[in-house]
Structure 1
Amino acid sequence: MKSIIRQHHIYIDHYDISSTGISLNEFRQRRHSLVNLIRNYIKTEQKQSSKNFTICLPSSSRLYMGPDVAYFPFKQQSDFYYLTGCMQPDAVLLINGNDQTFSTNLFLSRCTMHSTDEYERWFGPIITDGEQISNIFGIDRVYPIDQLITLELPLSSILFYNSQFINDESIHKKNLIPLLKRFSSSIVCNQLTKFLHSLRSIKSFAEQTLIRRVCQLTSIALIRTIKNCKKDVENEHLVKAQFQYECEKLGDISMAFHPVVAANGRGNVIHYQKNNQSINKDDLIMLDGGCLFKQYSSDMTRLWPINGRFSSPQQQLYDILLTVQKDLIRYLNSTDKIISREKLNTLADQYMIKYLCEENILSQTIDKHYAKNVMHILCPTGVSHHLGLDVHDCDLCTADQQLRSGNIITIEPGLYIPWSCKDVPSIYRGFAARLEDDVLLTEQGCEVLSNMCPKEIDDLYQILDDRDKSDMQ
């Protein structure tokens, strides 16, 4: 392929797509699958057998916390990464096609320095050759991004894009709004993300391998964190720092999200993130964290007593939480019925009410309507979400949609008992926790990808005993 741009006009950071863990052929197949969905939509919904279309998908822009200080690490827009494997900020993928053929075009920012040597001295190696960039990503043509507004497009195209990407002052607004104004035919907003999420929700074998690996890495970091957080640890921020240290010690990985480290019932703030309060000697520690490995996320939560042993009420509630989670995983493995996240939510509430009543934590005479109201207080969160390139992946896949083989979801029942809750005895109030594992749905049932991270009480005690023995030596 002959380069269509001159040296130094555009650039990407030095890149090897094989390092993504996804083959170039798979990225090509993803683009082809999206085009097929678009073609089918035009045929069935637009009632047209032949129609030109244009797919426009921007990357993320680089964000800055101050002059010349970028937020790090850079997180690529997940749909853009899914189709390209490209980590460059301020880029645009444009796919033009019809019912017979399509072409792919990548628009990249121009180099901001006077010369490649100058840029590389400040920021590291880059690639400026258009033909080489095209070959790296399997893209037909590469352009400078300012040519986006002058590119010749098929007449009477239907444009597929997501309006949220032009609602800021970024480079995308500058280049995309003029592009949108050129379309005189109907513009289809927000359909593109819907198509992409339907594709992204089914993980390929390569994606399953990456997420299985990131779950293993997170499990190792969690185990080491539990073992290295001593009885006298004084503050939640020390647990957070230990977890981040253990994660980054494992290799080229980062945080998938800001960890939640909550002691002394502060897990009742569902997305508690301050992580800066003191820890008492009899507190439970809840750690909700995950690693990001080759752009794929994990999301796991574990709970342990900082002094080495659960109190009787703590163990009683922990056992209930663990049993509910096991029941949900057992349900995934044993049923051939239609499964949805909405169904899992319903089952989680049913199991939780059953066990709380059996343990006399809730009154056994509680009626169903009142029990449902109590569950809104004690279990206010959903029990599952999709997982992948985003922690809360594919959010346009609704909770009532049927789950399918290849989906990766979390199973995370939670029990949050406010101090003010009068529906349970006072000895249980203030307990707040969830248990969270990452689960791959298969034709045979499911695989718990995070199963190497202990959650049985005896296994937790073994880690804590080993911790205490090492303290005595």
Structure 2
Amino acid sequence: MQGLGRHFFKRISFKRPSGCCGYSTRTLVDVGQPTAASHPQLVKEGEITPGITGDEYISRRKRLLELLPEKSLAIIAAAPVKMMTDVVPYPFRQDADYFYITGCQQPGGVAVLGHEFGLCMFMPNPDPQDVIWQGQIAGVDAALSTFKAEQAFPISEMHKILPTMIKKSSKLLHNVKTASPAYMDLEALRNAALSGKVKDLSGYTHELRWVKSPSEIRLMRESASIACQALLQTMILSKTLADEGMLSTKFEYECRMRGAQRMAFNPVVGGGVNGSVIHYSRNDQKIKDGDLVLMDVGCELHGYVSDLTRTWPPSGSFSSAQEKLYDLILEVNKECVKLCQPGLSIRQIHNHSVELLQRGLKEMGILKDKRSTSQIYYQLNPTSIGHYLGMDVHDCSMVSNDRPLKPGVVITIEPGVYIPYSFDGPERYQGIGIRIEDEVLITETGHEVITGSMPKEIQHIKSLLNNYCGNRGMEAHNDMRAASS
């Protein structure tokens, strides 16, 4: 493939900068992200990113090319930098497709993949002032030596090179969500769009990302393990410090101390009626004695996220109404996990969950009128039973929930019920929100619950909070008070 690339670029009337073709022999000490040379504690020899080898990245590109139509060109831009204020950016997170194909965790690049030349990376031009303020970034040499691209050029030269590549292609596919003016403004691309040659690439990349490799599964297990350990410590703290913001902070602290780079999403910490707001994110209330707290949380480890939810009473005691509703959600959770196996789809599991929840809510008297049962049910639970999980929280959105599951696919199972105070039903259930969410890996013989270490049985939660939390919780409470004084 490398030879084909050289031959292809010789036909383009463009004088290549020195070092822009073939693998670089220069020793790269700092390329703007961890490497085996700079961070041996994170990246092993032969890996581009922690846990994922250069061979696997090359294999991903090869498999994507096999999926793409003949003579097509794939253009994938890095995620843009988003600004918090004029000069302060939000923490950068790479676009999952760009990361999946290149392993590059930095902004400013555009990757181009074609049958004739393999991977060509257009890299940002290093600005000496930016290097002073922000440190080194990956350039052309890193694209060749670290990310194993067949070809690499400064992005300032893209306007000379990419149009020729576009004109030689019968179809263009690009990541619509991260489309960059750097290539979208090229006349060759605008003309291709007008002729209907430009399509979204994500259907192809999501197909590849849907089934995880053994390396990806190892990272997802580790991400889930970190989240479970962090949530367990947070549950212990809740016994003596029932505050939404403090619990959110505790979870993030425990995740980061175990190696996670960031949260998978803003933690949901809903105490009492706030638990009935599905994506509640204010996390600014004290949790009243006798209320439940719902925590929907996850972390990201080297590009792979976790996502789990537990609901519990920080006091260590469920009311009878809380326990009855919790028992129903737990039963649905376990019954739906049993259905997680090759050949069944998320849609089929969801439909079964609706049947189970409607039956249980009717038995409790929460759903009464047969003529409006379905409408009222969806007011109390408008969510799906689950979603795909991987590099993004709602991963591979282009893959239908009707697709039969395969070994290597990871999904969530997350039944819930969300009853606001305004609900016209039995008063004892008003203001209660409960969700129990697990991550499930589909295997050849069935499934593996990779968040199974996190307690969800009522007796286990009670035992943890009442028999174990006393001394540990008080120590943690005193530590928190000392830190804030």
Please tell me the TM-score bracket, short chain as reference.
0.7 to 0.9
Q: Which residue of 2 aligns with 1:38?
A: 68
How do 1:300-311 residues align onto structure 2 when only pairs under 5 Å count?
Answer: 300-311=308-319
Contact 2:269 2:293 (8 Å CA) reproduced: yes
Alpha carbons of 1:21 and 1:370: their partners in 2 closer, same or farther (altered >3 Å)? same
Alignment pair present for 1:292 and 2:300: yes
2:42 maps to what in 1?
A: none
- The answer to whether 1:96 aligns with 2:101 is no
Instruction: Spell out, residue by residue over 1:224-271, the C-alpha distance to the aligned partner (whole angstroms, 9 max, x if none).
Output: 0011123453x3111111111121121243111100000111122211
CA distance in 1, matches of 2:327, 2:194: 59
Q: Distance in 2 between matches of 1:303 and 1:140?
A: 50
Q: Is 1:60 aligned to 2:88, yes or no?
A: no
Contact 1:324/1:351 (<8 A) preserved: yes
Aligned to 1:402: 404
The answer to whether the 8 Å contact 2:316/2:462 transfers is: yes
Alpha-carbon separation, structure 2, partners of 1:421 and 1:303: 20
Partner of 2:288: 280
Aligned-residue offset at 1:358: 3.5
Q: Tell me what 1:464 maps to.
A: 465
> Deviation at 1:430?
1.3
Count of residues paired in the alignment: 439
Q: Is the 8 A contact 2:240 2:473 kept in 1?
A: no
Task: State the one-letter code of the partner of 1:194.
Answer: G
Contact 1:156 1:183 in 2 (8 A): no
Cα distance in structure 2, aligned partners of 1:13 and 1:143: 17
Shift of 1:157: 3.1
- Any residues of structure 2 matched to 1:231-242 within 5 Å, and which? 231-233=240-242, 235-242=243-250
Matching of residue 332 in structure 1 with residue 343 in structure 2 = no
How far apart in 2 are the matches of 1:186 and 1:405? Answer: 40
2:194 maps to 1:155 = no
Task: Report which stretch shifted further, 267-276 or 319-328.
Answer: 267-276
Q: Which residue of 2 aligns with 1:112?
A: 127
- Gaps spanning 5+ residues in structure 1: where? 40-50, 167-171
Q: Which residue of the partner structure matches residue 218 of structure 1?
A: 227
The question of whether the paired residues in 1 share the 8 Å contact of 2:64 and 2:205 is answered with yes
Indicate yes or no: 2:7 matched with 1:5. Answer: no
* Structure-2-length-normalised TM-score: 0.84
What residue number does 2:218 align with?
Answer: 209
Match of 2:352 in 1: 347
SS of alignment partner, residue 75 of structure 2: strand
Structure 2 SS opposite 1:292: strand
Match of 2:97 in 1: 79
Distance 1:324 1:191, change over 3 A: same
Of 223-232 and 439-448, more deviation after overlay is shown by 223-232
Amino acid at match of 2:354: D
Q: Could you give the per-residue CA deviations for residues 301-347 of structure 1, whole angstroms, max 9, x where no partner exists?
A: 111101111111101100100000000011225xx7x4222212211
Q: Which residue of 2 aligns with 1:380?
A: 382
Equivalent runs, 1:173-192 vs 2, <5 Å: 173-178=181-186, 179-181=188-190, 183=192, 186-192=195-201
d(CA) in 2 for partners of 1:184 and 1:397?
A: 25
Shift of 1:5: 3.4
CA 1:413–1:359 in structure 2 vs 1: closer, same or farther (change >3 Å)? same
1:62 Cα deviation from its structure 2 partner: 1.6
The equivalent of 1:47 in structure 2 is none
Give the secondary-structure state (helix, strand or coil) at the position aligned to 1:389.
coil
Deviates more, 1:374-383 or 1:205-214: 374-383
> Do the aligned residues in 1 keep the contact of 2:230 with 2:255 (CA within 8 Å)?
yes
2-side partners of 1:274 and 1:454: how far apart?
Answer: 25
Displacement of 1:196 in angstroms is 0.8
Residue 68 of structure 1: SS of its match in structure 2?
Answer: coil
TM-score by length of 1: 0.86
Check conservation: 1:349, 1:379, Cα contact below 8 A: no
**AA partner of residue 218 (structure 2):** T
Amino acid at match of 1:273: S
1:122 matches 2:133: yes
Distance change >3 Å, CA 64–CA 468, structure 1 → 2: same
Cα distance, 1:34–1:468 mapped onto 2, change above 3 Å: same
Show CA shifts across 1:161-202 (max 9, x none): 133433xxxxx2143321513648944444411111111111
CA deviation after TM superposition for structure 1 residue 283, in Å: 1.1
Comparing 386-395 with 354-363, greater Cα deviation is found at: 354-363
Q: What pairs with 1:235-250 in structure 2 (closer than 5 Å)?
A: 235-250=243-258
Asked if the contact 2:238/2:473 (under 8 Å) is kept, the reply is no
**Aligned to 2:289, what secondary structure does the other structure show?**
coil
Instruction: Give the Cα–Cα distance (whole angstroms) in 2 for the partners of residues 142 and 82 of structure 1.
Output: 18
Asked if the contact 1:63–1:70 (Cα under 8 Å) also holds between the matched residues in 2, the reply is yes
> What is the deviation of 1:449?
0.7
Q: Which moved more, 1:194-203 or 1:456-465?
A: 456-465
Displacement of 1:30 after TM fit? 0.8
Structure 1 window deviating more from structure 2 (199-208 vs 157-166): it is 157-166
1:260 alignment counterpart = 268
Is the 8 Å Cα contact of residues 231 and 281 (structure 1) preserved in structure 2? no
The question of whether the paired residues in 1 share the 8 Å contact of 2:172 and 2:199 is answered with no
Cα gap change, 1:133 to 1:189, in 2 (>3 Å): closer
SS at match of 1:159: strand
In structure 2, the CA distance between the partners of 1:444 and 1:110, relative to structure 1 (3 Å rule), is: same
Quickly say closer, same or farther: Cα 1:320–1:252, change in 2 above 3 A.
Answer: closer
For residues 472 and 146 of structure 1, the distance between their equivalents in structure 2, rounded to whole angstroms, comes to: 59
What value does the CA root-mean-square deviation take over the aligned residues? Answer: 2.5
- Matched with 2:51 is 21
Would the aligned equivalents of 1:283 and 1:305 in 2 still touch at CA under 8 Å?
yes
Distance of 1:184 and 1:249 partners within structure 2:
48
Taking the aligned partners of 1:308 and 1:143, their CA distance within structure 2 comes to: 61
Change over 3 Å in CA distance of 1:189–1:20 after alignment to 2 = farther
3-state SS, counterpart of residue 84 of structure 2: strand
- Residues 435 and 372 of structure 1, relative CA distance in 2, 3 Å threshold: same
Any conservation in 2 of the 1:298–1:391 contact (CA below 8 Å)? Answer: yes
Alpha-carbon offset, residue 91 of structure 1: 0.6
